[in-house]
Structure 1
Amino acid sequence: MAASLLGHGSNATTSPLQDQLSRPMTIGHISVVGASHTRHNFLNPFFAPLVSRDDLTVADVMSGLQSAISKLNRYDIFEPVETASLSKSSSPTAAQTDVDVALVLKEKSRLYFKTGTELGNAEGSANAEGHARNIFGGGESLVVNASAGTRTRSAYAAEFATPVVPGDPDTRLSVNAAATNVAKPWASHEEVSKLAGGKVSWGSGYEGGGHQLGYSMNWRTITALSGTASPTVRNDAGDSVKNSITYMYLKDKRDNPMLPQSGYLYKSVWEMAGWGPLGGDVSFSKSEMEVAAALPVPLPGVKGKTGVSISGGFRCGMMYPLPMGYTFMGRKAQPSRINDRFQLGGPNDVRGFKQGGLGPRDGPDAAGGDVFAAGSVNLLFPLPRTGVDSNFRVQLFANGGRVVGLKGRSKGKASGEGGGGGMSMSAVKNGIVGSVQDLCTGLPSVAAGVGLVYAHPVARFELNFCLPLVLRRGEEGRKGLQVGVGINFL
């Protein structure tokens, strides 16, 4: 932060830094210029702690202003602010230690639009997004987007978000609605979804991590079945209503999420659907966890950054069917639906396999599983003559995973054909234990390969040559080139 301090005497240039920072200082007036569309009562909480105190030092004022500027920058409604100017107070009654603060802000455009395209394996899409900032002058935002493509037939979404704690950019409340129509050729159907919900987020952004608690109502329809659709898909066809609460915790300390050279990631998601007052026609507890880390690799004779890094990631998850209502006693749980099960395989998770290519199958269809685990190890190094700061990398990778269905799941469905069918809670417990044992003792499917990575600020692009090494019976590998586009890779 650049600042000019006037009226402190000639000894200021010769005093030790610690003495300078410990000198008393009081803010008499703060002026903010350039925030014409921002409410005063939105800006006041950022600076109120500085104005209301008379026991400040130079260090307190500097750190307080830096904290306020950092918080303002995280709202994304102003151009990045770095400095505030300080001058001796102009008030005739001001003390020698009183200063005035001037902060010049420049508001970003309140409306902007962007369009884009994405290209992947047998998949292409076009999208458009509109963003309204600072709608009511208090850091609110509205994002509306639409996309269409070969796999995502159509997708429309809108989200309105607003801060809920004055002076805290990381605590936000949002409401959203979405409608999608997605083709799932790996399971011979399309899924139409209409969703509405809300969520509150806190503790995020600046510290690289945070919490999110949300509620959603989702009406899903499995439709447009192909002529070869399996009995698994046909049994789950039609409408389904899921009401759920979701909690997510994220800690991301990577230096670059798209191309990490150092740091770590931890993410956990827990979803509760249908149980108790939630209602709907599906009921389960679903947990997922992801950890990842990256380390720079030093090279002999090279000082500083080398651009070479080794990274690894691991994901796992479990779905636990629950009975509807408020109690577990004497009630039965319906096995999971194909809408909710885990699918594994594809260019963004286990490379070297087709989308949904891992795990249980029913004829031509990926049936999904209730328990899964997957891991990856990647070695990345710069292309020749591109430099260590280039967004291009060559990667060598090996990854693998396994997804397992709930033991006894089909039997539970068969018992549901009569009145009061389903799985007892003891049967669900035994099935989960059996699935986890199978997951831990069975050999995972494995693939390795080499590829080219480009880390764009909004997405990561991969072009890999893959070679499946271990393939379980019925699973679908993909030998040869595979294209991946996304923001979250294993």
Structure 2
Amino acid sequence: MSMESDNDISILANVKARVDKITIDGLKKTKDNLMVNMLQNKFKNIHNFQDLLVEAYEFRERLSGLGVFNRIEITIDTNRADATSTGYEIIYKVEEKGPLQGKISTMIDNNDGSLVLKSDLLNVLGGAEKLSVEYQVSKNSQKGVNVEFKAPIRPWTYYNPIFTSAAYQNSGERPWSGFHQTDRGVHVDLSLNSFADINHNFRWAGIWREIKAFGPSFQIREQSGHSLKSSIYHTMTIDRRELSPYLDYIVKLNQEYAGLGGDTSFIKQEFLVSNRMPLIGNISLEGSLKAGIINSSCGIADRFFLGGPMNLRGFKMNGVGPHSEGNALGASTYWITGLHLYAPLPFKKMNSSDSWLKTHFFLNAGNIGNFPFKGDHVKYFNNMVNRVRFSVGFGFVVSFPNFVRLELNYCFPLQHQPGDRLDRSIQFGIGFDYV
């Protein structure tokens, strides 16, 4: 921060101020009581003009987060009726978005690209609700339609709970396992923030699934047909990525309990821990650990899979673990760890600002199988760590925060097990999640 900026802030902190009046102009469909509630406990602890500016722009960000305004302008003026000249009026001039929005976009994940057609009906009831209809089709025969209603419950609180309900149908091929899957279902969600900015999502989902096998494996074919699943999900996320060079980590826990009706029952848990730290200049080191376990047998649609260009590199997509006649069967337990070293391109300066493109050196290790944690726990733990797959490699990474990650690597699988499908060559990966 410059010396001039420090002086400006100190001057504003010495100017006494209070807020006498707040006006929000331009509301049409948005209800007045929503704005009244949004202003609860705001602008009450204003002692100087610096406090006033900070609070005014924080409230602007909160209004923007409702997603119903195209533009929000702030005007701060003196209260002409105040003889002390310390009273101020804050005027927010807003422009609401049109009630119907549509867009065409692309979505990329797990090395598959999709075309997404979406239409939104905004501010349905005047409380920043949104009704969305979405159609998605990908180059790998994936397609789906989703109708979703989303509504903030108390957006003026720290917890900011959001209610979501949806009905959907998705279908697509699972070529690594030799079957086609169609899901038809409904779900209701509640997401909220808790202390220390920890995000929680609670969901109930009812799914009608249909599996049609086209591969040679009898173990896949015997699971063909229809099934029903009713599950409760909980996801906890602590995301501190991009906050600072020394505070760059994410912790994520997924839990599922299936068995509230339907014809399948199990408990499934999965967690991810990832941390990045700077070394020298723009060189950084990142370590990740991801693991999951299912407490009982379940169908192939709910099992874990491992392998591919964004997790256990050097292996085919979902090509690690139990197979039958070339088809991946998945498993009930897995773990994978990754160590990544990032550095600027050789011809770039050490302090280059082009941080989105870097060279990449990696080491991956992991295992997957049906390891029943009963009886001799030491024995089964040893089984998990004895038949480990290893791979190393190098390449390039293009990473955009909160968007997408692209990798182009040359991979060397150093250790594998019978049945694993190797990819000992140049491997391209694109997606959001990686290890």
The partner residue of 1:364 within 299, 323, 326 is: 326
Residue correspondences, number: 422
Distance 2:121 2:243 in 1: 27
Q: SS of the counterpart of 2:40?
A: helix
Q: CA deviation at 1:458?
A: 3.0
Q: Report the equivalent of 2:160.
A: 170
For residues 155-201 of structure 1, give each alpha carbon's deviation from its aligned partner in whole angstroms, at most 9, with x where no partner exists: 22232211111514831000012211121111111111112111100
Q: Report the equivalent of 1:438.
A: 383
Distance 1:459 1:16 in 2: 41
Q: Report the equivalent of 2:35.
A: 43
The partner residue of 2:284 within 309, 329, 336 is: 309
Q: Report the equivalent of 2:294.
A: 319
Q: Report the equivalent of 1:397.
A: 362
Q: Report the equivalent of 2:58.
A: 67
For 2:231, the aligned partner's letter is: S
Instruction: Check whether the contact 2:13–2:51 (CA below 8 A) recurs between aligned residues.
Output: no
Between Structure 1 and Structure 2, the one with more strand by share is 2
For residues 99-143 of structure 1, give each alpha carbon's deviation from its aligned partner in whole angstroms, at most 9, with x where no partner exists: 21112334455513022375976x554333334443333222233
Instruction: Check whether the contact 1:27–1:50 (CA below 8 A) recurs between aligned residues.
Output: no
Q: CA deviation at 1:26?
A: 3.9
Matched, 1:454 2:419: no
Assess, with a 3 A threshold, how the Cα gap between structure 1 residues 246 and 94 changes in structure 2: closer, same or farther: farther
For 1:247, the aligned partner's letter is: H
Assess, with a 3 A threshold, how the Cα gap between structure 1 residues 129 and 315 changes in structure 2: closer, same or farther: same
Distance 1:210 1:143 in 2: 23
The partner residue of 1:182 within 149, 153, 172 is: 172
Instruction: Check whether the contact 1:382–1:388 (CA below 8 A) recurs between aligned residues.
Output: no
Q: Report the equivalent of 1:273.
A: 258
Range 278-287 or range 27-36, more displaced: 27-36
Matched, 1:113 2:103: yes
Assess, with a 3 A threshold, how the Cα gap between structure 1 residues 94 and 452 changes in structure 2: closer, same or farther: same
Instruction: Check whether the contact 1:406–1:431 (CA below 8 A) recurs between aligned residues.
Output: no
For residues 270-328 of structure 1, give each alpha carbon's deviation from its aligned partner in whole angstroms, at most 9, with x where no partner exists: 11110xxx1111111110000001112224xxxxxx3x22112110011012xxxxxxx
State the structure with more CA Rg: 1
Q: CA deviation at 1:380?
A: 1.6
Instruction: Check whether the contact 1:371–1:435 (CA below 8 A) recurs between aligned residues.
Output: no
Q: Report the equivalent of 2:429.
A: 484
Distance 1:483 1:14 in 2: 50
Distance 1:104 1:28 in 2: 17
Q: SS of the counterpart of 2:41?
A: helix
Assess, with a 3 A threshold, how the Cα gap between structure 1 residues 158 and 96 changes in structure 2: closer, same or farther: same
Where do residues 212-291 of structure 1 align in structure 2 (5 Å cutoff)?
Answer: 212-226=201-215, 228=216, 230-255=217-242, 263-274=248-259, 278-291=260-273
Q: SS of the counterpart of 2:301?
A: coil
The partner residue of 2:307 within 341, 345, 356 is: 345
Q: Report the equivalent of 2:415.
A: 470
For 2:61, the aligned partner's letter is: S
Assess, with a 3 A threshold, how the Cα gap between structure 1 residues 261 and 196 changes in structure 2: closer, same or farther: farther
Assess, with a 3 A threshold, how the Cα gap between structure 1 residues 185 and 431 changes in structure 2: closer, same or farther: farther
For residues 60-102 of structure 1, give each alpha carbon's deviation from its aligned partner in whole angstroms, at most 9, with x where no partner exists: 5444434322322323333575x743322234x7765432111
Q: Report the equivalent of 1:32.
A: 24
Instruction: Check whether the contact 1:28–1:94 (CA below 8 A) recurs between aligned residues.
Output: no
Instruction: Check whether the contact 1:461–1:484 (CA below 8 A) recurs between aligned residues.
Output: yes
Where do residues 138-157 of structure 1 align in structure 2 (5 Å cutoff)?
Answer: 138-157=127-146
Q: Report the equivalent of 2:4.
A: none
Assess, with a 3 A threshold, how the Cα gap between structure 1 residues 376 and 50 changes in structure 2: closer, same or farther: closer
Distance 1:244 1:314 in 2: 26
Assess, with a 3 A threshold, how the Cα gap between structure 1 residues 347 and 245 changes in structure 2: closer, same or farther: same
Assess, with a 3 A threshold, how the Cα gap between structure 1 residues 221 and 434 changes in structure 2: closer, same or farther: farther
Distance 1:484 1:134 in 2: 38
The partner residue of 2:14 within 20, 29, 33 is: 20
The partner residue of 2:191 within 194, 201, 217 is: 201
What is the aligned-residue identity percentage? 24
Q: CA deviation at 1:385?
A: 4.0
Q: Report the equivalent of 2:68.
A: 77
What value does the CA root-mean-square deviation take over the aligned residues? 3.1
TM-score (norm 2): 0.86
**Structure 2 gaps, min length 5:** 1-6
Instruction: Check whether the contact 1:268–1:287 (CA below 8 A) recurs between aligned residues.
Output: yes
For 1:444, the aligned partner's letter is: V
Distance 1:101 1:171 in 2: 28
**Structure 1 gaps, min length 5:** 1-12, 300-305, 322-334, 408-427
Distance 1:28 1:454 in 2: 50
Distance 2:33 2:247 in 1: 40
Matched, 1:298 2:289: no
For residues 15-62 of structure 1, give each alpha carbon's deviation from its aligned partner in whole angstroms, at most 9, with x where no partner exists: 9759726x4x443221123443422222112223247x5x75236544
